[in-house]
Structure 1
Amino acid sequence: MSKGVAITGMGIISAIGNNVPENFHSLVSSKAGISKISHIDTIHANEIMVGEIKTTNSEFEAQLQLEENSYSRSPLLGIIAANEAIAKAGITNINDYKTGLISSTTVGGMDKSEQYFYEFFNSKNHWQHINGLHAGDSTKKIAEAIGLQESFVTTISTACSSAANAIMLGARMIKSGRLDRVVVGGTDALSKFTINGFKTLMILSDTYNTPFDENRKGLNLGEAAAFLVLESENIVASENREVLAYVKGYGNSNDAFHQTASSENGDGAVLAMEKALKVAGLKPEDIDYVNAHGTATPNNDLSEGRAMLRIFGEGKVPDFSSTKAYTGHTLAAAGGVEAVYSVLALQNNRIYPNLNLKKHMKEFDLRPQTKVIEKEIKHVLSNSFGFGGNCSTLIISKEA
């Protein structure tokens, strides 16, 4: 059986909390963070709902002692979450071991570049926000903020599976001996570009999203950042680290079905879950809880439901729920957000409710949990599926 990679720290900021304890309290209190848009000047403000973090950029910059209007929102969120993860791990010198940062984003610096785009040809007053559009800029800023020097720093952008792939790559880098420690996760902020893009796809809900509900209308976009600290056995032993959980299995695939839609029978999702179980050395019946991708779109929930039935069998699908009704769909950050939630499920032996469910889907007899459940949990399977057929699965476990 494959040995897992130790998770020694984690940090998160989302619409339901500014740190790990606040997020957990919201999860077990069924406190969603979905609301009308308040921070973005958009014509769709009264048409859709989002998972918005209410703290402003100026407030974040003051908190981080940064110059006013110097950073876009994605790196600000990322720095907050990465700092919490590093502090939780008890790291006082980020460069004392071979350390990497693998961050993910889809939005990058879009919230600022779109603001100053029309000044592009006439002024260079906000040139840093034009240059800060690309995905790697947020990773660079996070690396600088945590003091990382002369190490492995890279960015992954595979749509909504990005952070899950960052965690997978980090685990593989440690297993191969390339790195001793990796900070892994993702960050994405809301922007007009994202809102307009998803509005064009006609998959945004005008009310609270309802994963796995027969009458689901679409997703709520959200913003968040979440990072884990992964460390080698050597560091855990020599530094006497507290291990929160282990990245036990991982797998990714591409179903090559459609630019935005998942395959009707969940082919890519099945392959990703099969790979993760194989890496973990586990059988489907070993999984105690599935944190489903569960975007509340007609296509995703049907595809993922069929995929779970193919993996686990009729009447054998373990307890499952989607947590996107709490946070909204946080795009590249989603796999990191839900990895943190998976660790919390293991630590507290809790399964979170699938909020807003009123009517079960007619295509199959799958029933997500709608109440907080206390039970012994040893292995959590977390799905993250993205546009372009990018399908990724993580298995997070209590023991190596």
Structure 2
Amino acid sequence: MAGELETRVLRKITWRIVPFIMLLYFVAFIDRVNVGFAALTMNKDIGLSASAYGFGAGIFFWGYFLFEVPSNLALDRFGARIWIARVMITWGLVSGAMAFVQGPTSFYVLRFLLGAAEAGFFPGIILYLSYWFPARQRAAVTALFMAAAPLSTVLGSPVSGALLEMDGLLGFKGWQWLFLIEALPAVLLGFVVLSYMTDRPEQARWLADEERDWLVRTMKEELAGKAATASHSVWKGLADIRVLALALVYFGTSAGLYTLGVWAPQIIKQFGLSSLAVGFLNAVPPTIAVVVMIMWARHSDRTAERTWHVVLACVVAAVGLWLAGLSTSVAAVLAALTLVNVGISSSKPPLWSMPTTFLSGSAAAAGIATINSIGNLGGFVGPAMIGWIKDQTGSFNGGLYFVAGLLVISAVLTLLLSRSQTAKAKQPATQS
């Protein structure tokens, strides 16, 4: 009977919560990386060099970095419903304003403001899932949520490529239509969040009394179970060495992810293809990555193993970037980019299952935001370095190898963190 109740409750909350937050992240990710497609024509129109574009595309993450922790603490205090709605409406308006950039300076300013507007969304959802789903189910649920990122590339790439073909309509450039049209869903969904999202299990009127009581009790028991070892205060969440270690691991995976979002269209375009063809081809690697990521996360949950699931995924992505630098044909570069997509996407669900095992409450809000804000600076460093190296050498290769190196460092740091945690766990037994 208890097992039947658990299954029923988890099915209900999964269907109620996960498809909706996937839709939100889908829209968020399109607005975050559609600059990669806009750049196919925008850069020439507003006079952006590869270095200036890489810097501007990446400066998004400085806005993200500066406002991430305060935003996530605000979510913990005011509730996900109000705060996620605020985030979405704000970033939609800023994303739409990208249609009116005039040159490098306005490009930098709006990309920074977009990062500031969106700060708190991703870690806020990770924190939100920890309110609703027991730890043993969290990697699989996180994988479903994060599948929205590669799915946004799968579906968004052809759409973005098609929008670029609207060049000249009503006097607007194709890239301007891209920003304006793709910003609208964020604003509209922000208002939907206000009526649809439920902050905590205690408020879930869409669950039967018996189901709601089981969920509230289960989550409280889990919280009590880690009370002795978990950090709870904001400052402990910020100061925990494991938080810094995971932030550095995430740094490499973010560099890889935004290398794909910001530069993959141009890497494919160099073989002389049209914007529409680039859109369809760019959708192939993430299609495969979605399937592999979900299977990988389920295996991680089933085996209760996180470390090697992160390490192996990072290594696969690094190998893919190295091969992308060696590729001399469209087929070869697509195969290499598929490996990068698979590795990057698969590394994240097990990685994001780690912090909520040793953080809770305000510490979780601060710690998760810290990991995301510091880690996402990789989204600045990766694209910016590729742009700079491209201007210096005329090739993407050196930048791709640089980002591959960051992913190898992420793999090594994950192993070191695991060994440190294992040694720490054995210490009391040794001393006694």
Same topology, TM > 0.5: no
Higher strand fraction (1 or 2): 1
TM-score for both structures, normalised by structure 1: 0.33
TM-score for both structures, normalised by structure 2: 0.31
Larger RCO (CA within 8 A; separation ≥ 6): 2
Larger radius of gyration: 2
Higher helix fraction (1 or 2): 2
